Amino acid sequence: MRFATLEGWLTWQESLNPKTIDLGLERTRQVWQRLVPPDLSSSTVISIAGTNGKGSTVALFEAIFKQAGYRTGSYTSPHLLRYNERIRLDGEPVEDQQIIDAFQATDEARKDVPLTYFEFGTLAALLVFAREKPEVVLLEVGLGGRLDAVNIIDADVSVVTSIGLDHQEWLGHDRETIGREKAGIFRPGRPAVFSGSDMPASIADQARMLQTHLYINGREFHCEAGAETWNWCGPSRMLNALPYPHLPGQHQLDNASGVIMALELLARKTPLDDRAVVQGLEAVRLTGRQQTVEHQGVQWVLDVAHNPHAVSALARQLKENPVAGRTLAVLGMLDDKDVTSVLTLMQPHIDRWYFATIENARGMSAEKLAGMAQSLLPVPPFDTHDTLDRALKTVAEEAGVGDRVVVFGSFFTVAAALAYLDSPA
C-alpha cells in the first residue's frame, strides 16, 4: 500500500496533478472503467448541481430517505473539519480505512493517469458505494456539471438547485452560460428537476435537446407558505400542512420542494409514504448553513456563503431576525470571489467587521479585504487579522451579551469557527 494513513494519501494527491482544477471526464471515466466492480446499478442515483443549495438538498434527501428506511450513500464537497465528511453512509462519515482501501484501488487502476485531488475523491466515493450497495446514492456536483467528475455516472433523476454567478473563470460570466454547464448532468429520457427561481433559458434548451422531461419550480410544482406549515403542489397531487424544513431561510422551501418533486419521480423505484417526508423535514440538519450557535451568551451565525446569491439569503435572514445588540462579522474569503458584491450586500447589516486572512494558496489577505471595504461609502469600521484564529478570538472577547457574531465567506472560515467554538474555554 502506498500510504497507511488518510493524511498521507491526501497530502500526496494534492501534488499528483499540477492543476488544482482540471475539468473533463476522460481521466475519471478511464480509471472508473478499470475498477472492479464499477457498478452502481443496484442503487437509485440522484445527481445534484447548482450554484447554491446543493448541500441542503443532499441533507434533505438523506433525512427523508432515512425516515423511510432506505440506506443512503452521499458524496459532497468540500468538507469542514474532516475529509471523511465527503463520503457518508446513512448520513455518517465512513471510516478512514474504507477511504484508504478505495484510494489504493484507485491508484492501482489509474496507472499513469494524473488525477486531481477531487477526481481521486470522487472515484473513491463511487467505489465505496459500489462495494456497500446503498439503496440510494446522492452525488453532489463539485464544480459546474457537464465536465465535473461526478458526471461520469448516469443518474436516475437530476436536480439543479439554483443558478448564480460563481466560479466564472471555469463556468462562464453570465447565468445562461453557467446554467448550460449545470444542465450538463441531464440524461436523455431521464427526468430532471429545477428547484431554484428564475431559471435560465439555457437549462430548458438543454432539456429539449436531450429529450429530458424537466420539472420546473413554479410551473410543474410549487409551494404555498403559511404561518406555521406549508403545502406542496405537484403535477398529480398535493401534500398539505408540511412542517418547515429544520434549516433556516425562506429559500429552503425551494430546496425542499425540488426534493419532493424528485421523490415523486422516483416513487416506483423508491416508494415512501408522506410520513417519511414530514419526519425528514423535521429531522434534517446541516452544519455551516446559517447555523446558529450560542456561545457564552452570544449568538453566533455560521454560514459558508461566499457568492452574492448565497450572501443575499444570509443578509435577508439577518434583517428578518434582529438582535438587541450589535452584529459583528468575521469575514475570510478566497481570492477568486466577488468580494465587492459580498461587502455591499452585507454592509447594511454589520456594525463592525473583522477581516481575516485565509492561510491557503487561494486565500485573500485581510489587508486586501480591508482595501475593498474602504472603497465603500460610508466606510465600515473594521479590524484586520493575519489569521482566522486571531480574528475569532478578538471578536469573542469584544462581543457582549445581546450581540451577534456572523462568520461567513468560505468553508475555511466556518471550519475555523467550528474548531474555535469547540475548543476548551
pLDDT digits (tens, 9 = 90+) for 356-375: 999 888 899 999 999 999 98
Q: Hey, is 276 helix, strand or coil? A: helix
Give the closest residue to 119 by CA, choosing from 6, 13, 205.
Answer: 13
Look up residue 39 and give its amino acid: D
What pLDDT does residue 102 have?
Answer: 96
Q: Say how far apart CA 418 and CA 425 lie, in whole Å.
A: 13
pLDDT surpassing 70 at residue 425 = no
Phi and psi (nearest 5°) for 90?
A: 55, 35
What pLDDT does residue 172 have?
Answer: 55
Sign for the CA dihedral angle at 266, 271, 277, 283 comes to: negative
Q: What is the mean pLDDT of residues 98-124?
A: 93
Could you tell me the pLDDT band of residue 20, with boundaries at 50, 70 and 90?
low
Could you tell me the pLDDT band of residue 170, with boundaries at 50, 70 and 90?
very low
pLDDT surpassing 50 at residue 422 = yes
- Tell whether omega for the bond before 78 is within 30 degrees of 0, i.e. cis: yes
Q: Say how far apart CA 30 and CA 384 lie, in whole Å.
A: 47
What pLDDT does residue 175 have?
Answer: 85
Q: What is the mean pLDDT of residues 83-91?
A: 97
pLDDT digits (tens, 9 = 90+) for 45-68: 999 999 889 999 999 999 999 999
Q: What is the mean pLDDT of residues 373-384?
A: 88
| Spatial CB neighbours of 147, under 8 Å, sequence gap ≥ 6 | 23, 24, 25, 181, 184
What does the block give as the cell for 91?
448520513
pLDDT digits (tens, 9 = 90+) for 257-311: 999 999 999 999 999 999 999 999 999 999 998 999 999 889 999 999 988 988 9
Give the closest residue to 69 by CA, choosing from 286, 287, 279, 284.
Answer: 279
Least confident range from 20-34, 101-115, 394-408: namely 20-34
Could you tell me the pLDDT band of residue 38, with boundaries at 50, 70 and 90?
low
What pLDDT does residue 198 have?
Answer: 87
Length of the chain: 425
What pLDDT does residue 340 have?
Answer: 92
pLDDT surpassing 90 at residue 37 = no
Could you tell me the pLDDT band of residue 148, with boundaries at 50, 70 and 90?
confident
What pLDDT does residue 153 have?
Answer: 94
What pLDDT does residue 23 have?
Answer: 66
What pLDDT does residue 135 have?
Answer: 97
What does the block give as the cell for 356?
481575516
pLDDT digits (tens, 9 = 90+) for 235-250: 999 999 999 999 987 7
Instruction: Provide the percentage of residues in the chain whose pLDDT is more than 70.
Output: 95
Phi and psi (nearest 5°) for 378?
A: -70, 155
What pLDDT does residue 379 have?
Answer: 81
pLDDT surpassing 80 at residue 332 = yes
With DSSP H G I counted as helix, E B as strand and the rest as coil, what are the percentages for the chain, rounded to 5?
40, 20, 40
Q: Say how far apart CA 107 and CA 280 lie, in whole Å.
A: 38
What does the block give as the cell for 152?
461520469
Could you tell me the pLDDT band of residue 125, with boundaries at 50, 70 and 90?
very high
pLDDT digits (tens, 9 = 90+) for 181-210: 899 999 999 999 999 988 999 999 999 999
Q: What is the mean pLDDT of residues 118-147?
A: 92
| Spatial CB neighbours of 406, under 8 Å, sequence gap ≥ 6 | 300, 301, 303, 314, 318, 327, 328, 329, 330, 350
